[in-house]
Amino acid sequence: MKGNKILAGVLSAGMVLSSGTAVFAGETEASANAGAHIYVLTSTEDHGWTGSVATFAKEKIKEINDAGTYSAELITAASAADQITQIEDILAGDTKNAAFVIQPLDDTVQSAIQEIVDAGIPYVAFDRIIDAVSSTAVSNVKGDNSGIGVAAASYFTGLGMKPGDAVYVYEGDTSSVTTLRDQGFTDYLKGDAEFEGKKIDDDLKWTDDDLKNITYSGAMNWSRSDTKTSFESLMGDPKNADIKWIYAEDDELAMGVLEALNGGGIDDATKQKFLDNGPAMTGCGGLDEYYEVLRGNSYQDIAKKFSGLCSVTYSPAMIQTAIQDMVDHLDGKEVTQDHVIACENVTADNVADYPSF
């Protein structure tokens, strides 16, 4: 955490006098902001993780509108250019009571965000944090990409993974997201990171030589079909059936592995050898299809042969936290500017407690 806090409307005395009555400053700020309109800008609601952000945003927006203190609306965009135009159109109108929650579609939205800042309008950034303007946000809400790798490594270690065991990593793309998810995994194994307040036991730490037994797929482009094809190719060499630990950096990639095992693209003997080894796999994100496997409702002929299946949380529902940060700011409450949402491991034991998309 940067420890940088935004405290709206709080006076050093902690309270002010209004008509001879003591009123907490936060209440004065909330009263002043009553009627504020929150524009929530996200990607188009279509499919996948980014599309589901809008779905969860609508739930929170309804809650705000039903409460009546503030109003809110969702505005979606299919491209960064569209999103920039939307921001400029809003700023061209009456922005006296405006506030923004923005999921920037790419870094080119920086210029439009700067216009919001220049207009003196508060905003919360979600998911894609643009470093050049991050210090101007009320809050920067994001998932912990490094923490995803940390959580996966901790899960495998808990299942008995030993230093130097063969691990195969299915990577998402070539961006910093993948770099961080790779790094978190090895950081935990080396003892340089902790999960839920604990580091790996000293006798289970991996050396640099041990880490050489981790194989990386290269960019799967977050594609289930690309991962399915890649895993079928991997299992084309029967020696690779000895790989026990599969770290998929997204639930879509994990589903690609399951679909490959459920299909006919792998030799039956190799497939049987792989499953008899009691493999374990982690995904990430909260995809409902993968959660259905964890719930015991699909792919059970295959899933029951795994020694463990897990999905690390990185839910599009985090947009609701971003919107709540803006509400808290308008209420005059203290908001953490660098708001990183910790990862949790979702398994068959606790999947009922987590939303999916």
Instruction: Please write the tens of the pLDDT for every residue from 301-310.
Output: 999 999 999 9
Q: How far apart are CA 307 and CA 305, in angstroms?
A: 6
Domains of the chain: 5-137+316-340 (3.40.50.2300), 145-312 (3.40.50.2300)
- Looking at residues 135-145, what average pLDDT do you find? 97
User: Percentage of the chain with pLDDT > 70?
Assistant: 91
Residues 159/348/275/227 CA torsion (nearest 10 deg): -100
**191 φ, ψ to 5°?**
90, 15
Integer Cα distance of 166 and 71 in angstroms = 53
pLDDT at 216: 98
Tokens of 162: 């030993």
Query: Does the pLDDT at position 63 exceed 70?
Result: yes
What are the φ/ψ torsions at residue 139 (nearest 5 degrees)?
-155, 145
Instruction: Give the distance between the most distant pair of CA atoms in the chain.
Output: 84
Q: Which of 93, 194, 121 is nearest to 153 (CA)?
A: 194
- 78 touches 44 (CB < 8 A): yes
Question: In this structure, are residues 290 and 304 in contact, taking their beta carbons and an 8 Å threshold?
Answer: no
pLDDT bin (cut points 50, 70, 90) of residue 33 is confident
* pTM, to two decimals: 0.83
Q: Residue 23: is its pLDDT beyond 80?
A: no
Q: Tokens standing for 1? A: 């955490």
Convert the pLDDT of each residue in 167-181 to its tens digit: 999 999 998 899 999
* 281 band by pLDDT with thresholds 50, 70 and 90: very high
